[in-house]
Structures are given as C-alpha cells and as structure tokens.
Amino acid sequence: MQANNLDVIDLFLKLLSFESITPDDAGSLAYIRSYLQGYEEIWVNEGGVKNLFLYKKFGEGDHLCFAGHVDVVPPGKGWQTDPFVPVIKEGKIYARGTQDMKSGVAAFVQTLRETETFNGTLSLLLTSDEEGVATYGTQIMLAHLKEVGMLPDYCVVAEPTCEDRFGDAIKIGRRGSINGYLTIHGRQGHAAYPEKADNPVHRIAPLLQQLAGVNLDKGDDDFAPSQMVITDIRGGMEVTNVTPGELKLMFNVRNSTKTTQDDVRVHVDKVLDGMEYTLELTQGSYPFVTDRNSKIVEAMRRSIKEITGVETKLSTAGGTSDARFMGAYGIDVVEFGVINDTIHAPNERTSVDEVKRLYRVFSDLVGRFE
C-alpha cells in the first residue's frame, strides 16, 4: 500500500480514522510503514498485539528513537460527533486519540519522513498495546532490540505532557506504582457483647492517620514524597448486630526512586505492630528518572524554547507510560506532546496549531541533535 504525500495535519486526520481500540491497530501500523519509505522494518507480533520498529542509519552518531502507541481507549458515551471520523471545528480537531496520542505519532512520523540528513540513526517504535496491560507491547520489542543490538541511546515518547499551555512541561521520569492488599484479622461476635469479640475496625481506626497520608520519603528535586493512599476499606456482613471478623484494606503508593516495596512493608509493620494481619504487595510499574543534564533533556528544552518561546518545566507527575520500559533498559528518555486536558474523555480534542508546533519541535530537535 502506497501512502500519499501528506502534510502533518493530513497524516493526523488519516491516523485518527483508524478505529484502533486496544489491542487492534486497525491497519494503522501498516499504513505508517508504507508512509516511511527508505526505513528498515522489524515487526514483533505476539498475543494479538502488533509492534513496529522502523530505522534508518544516516551516520555513525547516536541512535535517537521516537516512540508511542497507535491504540486508543474505547470512545464511551457523550460524543457530539463520530469518534473515528475526525472533525475540525474552530481550530480544534475532535476524535478519539487526538491527544492520546495520535497527535504525537503524526508529528514524529512526518518528521522522520522529511528528514534528509542526521548524524546517526533515527527510528520509531510503535505498539498497539499501551492502553491495555502492555504485556506484549513496547517491552517485547525492546527485549528483541537488545538481542539484536539495536537499542536506542535516546528516546522521545510523544505522550501528551503539557498542562495549561503548549510547551509548558516535559516528563523526565515517572513514579512507580505499588499496590497493597492488607487484611486485619479479628474475631467475629455479637454487637451486644463487644468484649467477647475482637473488632478489627476498632483496632485500625485510631491508626489510619499514622498508616496513610504520611510521607514515606522526603522526595527530591525530581519527585514529590511517596505517600500511601487508601483506595478501599471494607469489613462486616452489612448487618447491624454482628461485628466483623476481618477488615480488608487496599492502598496504592506512587513511589519515587527513594521508596521500595520493602520500605512500604517496614512502614506497615511499624504502624500495625502487635496486630494480626496479612499483607500482599505488587508492583505495577517501577520509578525511573532521566538526568536533567542529559543530552536529550537539554536538546528538547532548547527546541521547545525555539518553537514556542516557553521555558518548559521538568516533571515526573502523572500515571504510567511506556517510557518506563525505556528507563528499565537504561535509555535516556523524555516525554513531550500536546496539552492533556481531554485525554480518555468524550469529545477528546486538540488544536491544529498544537499539532503543527509539535511537528516543528520534533523537526528542530532532530536538526540540532548532534
């Protein structure tokens, strides 16, 4: 399939028309592959997920990769237009995936298509499984690239990072996510005879302020302090005359590089000393951070300043992204994209101007990345 010669907005509108709900790329990856003539291809497809890596060696210098995903979340209800028929209205483009993250994909694909010289290797890595569990997505491709000696030196993930104004934030890292499942064991009894029971609700109540809402570390220049956030508490039989025999509590810790699962367990052990309980911890993602003085961070900040006039801040806020997989391989990675105020929402939208300027930022970055 041969793609037409499009500009970045034409390409963006085309990508938005693919109904690529996770993990189905709906043909979008084949389209992008046809659009980038002259690039070598590697496909790693597993578990119903397609992953595409395209690369071109221009010179002997660094390997710079642009990464992202073509999959989107289901549209849901409340749309005023068809979520997979993009509509331009008053300078805004409406469709599922406009912000998260086909704007970023269009911007870097167009950049790579138009690049004629570069002192190194340029590549892109795209998956159709970022919005899901990501088991067979970016991490599978990275494992393969390590095997064949093709891991990039630097990476830009084009997730939407800006908050209020285009250019105001790039992400240089992400917090991890620790999930906790805590069960406080007691002894069930009759509410009329509390002295004969051991009520875990009464036991835990005075300790909650010590358990959650406290800083587990002091944070640093890159991360805010890690805190335990209680997300669910339940116990009892939904009757008024039976005291519960156990209480179950769930929590989450968005952890910095200063707090680990072991630290969380030590904290719980200290607060609940003397109580009978069980604790299970799982790690959904691990924290990472790219050095503020890294070549890719400095180059991205200069390009944003050049195109937008904005002095961008460096952030590690927000949830997870595929950048965490880059960080795990020691790749210096940053994230930069359009404003993220309507991601996953009905009537998701971004502006024509933002997409054009994102393309210009990426083009400037490639031009100055020596």
Given the residues 24, 129, 130, 131, the one annotated as active site: 130
Q: What is the pLDDT of residue 5?
A: 52
Q: What is the pLDDT of residue 2?
A: 38
15: nearest Cα among 23, 6, 347: 6
DSSP for 272-301 reads TTTS-EEEEEEEEE--EE--TTSHHHHHHH
* Chain segment 82-117, per-residue pLDDT in tens: 999 999 999 999 999 999 999 999 999 999 999 999
What angle do helix axes 8-16 and 28-35 make, rounded to 10 degrees? 160
Amino acid, res. 202: H
Task: Kindly give the parts of the chain with pLDDT less than 70.
Answer: 1-5
Mean per-residue pLDDT over the chain, rounded:
96
Contact at 8 Å (CB) between 323 and 178?
no
Tokens matching residue 217: 């570390």
Cα 41 to the center of its chain, rounded Å: 25
Q: Would you call 130 a catalytic residue per the annotation?
A: yes
Q: What is the pLDDT of residue 292?
A: 96
Contact at 8 Å (CB) between 287 and 223?
yes
**What count of other Cβ atoms lies within 10 Å of the Cβ of residue 37?**
9
How far is it between the farthest Cα atoms of the chain?
82
Q: What is the pLDDT of residue 119?
A: 95
Q: Would you call 71 a catalytic residue per the annotation?
A: yes
Q: How far is the CA of 312 from the CAs of 108, 144, 165, 296, 305, in angstroms?
A: 20, 34, 10, 14, 7
Distance CA 366, CA 370 (A): 8
Contact at 8 Å (CB) between 281 and 180?
yes
Q: What is the pLDDT of residue 351?
A: 98
Given the residues 25, 71, 222, 354, the one annotated as active site: 71
